[in-house]
Amino acid sequence: MSEYRLTPAAQRDLSSIWDFTEDRWGVGQAEKYVREFQSAIERVAEDPGLLRILTNRDLVRPRRSIATPRDSSPSTSPSGR
């Protein structure tokens, strides 16, 4: 296994994900999410070339901000609706 180190900000993010998930869906789901994140991080540490796949522009879909007549505040939607 390749070694990796999470930055303090990444550690805080992971902790926040745990806290939010545990509050909403319980300890079991929080553990599952954290295990999945750790597994993904370990895979990238083993094969940094995987990052090229994750940052491929074809996988990124731009979001559009729109305002509807009933609501003048912009909303963001993946489909632009």
Q: Indicate whether 81 pLDDT > 90.
A: no
Residue-wise pLDDT for 3-55, tens only, equals 888 899 999 999 999 999 999 999 999 999 999 999 988 988 898 877 776 55
Give the pLDDT score at 9: 92
In a domain, residue 54? The reply is yes
In a domain, residue 3? The reply is no
| Tokens at 38, concatenated | 């750790």
In a domain, residue 52? The reply is yes
In a domain, residue 55? The reply is yes
In a domain, residue 51? The reply is yes
- Name the region of 67 (left: φ>0; alpha: ψ -120 to 50; beta: rest): beta
Domain count, the chain: 1
Which DSSP state fits 59?
A: G
Domain encompassing residue 37 = 27-60
Q: pLDDT: is 12 or 62 the higher one? A: 12
In a domain, residue 79? The reply is no
In a domain, residue 41? The reply is yes
In a domain, residue 37? The reply is yes
Give the pLDDT score at 16: 95
77: three-class secondary structure by DSSP: strand
Alpha helices in 1-81 (DSSP H): 8-25, 27-46, 50-54
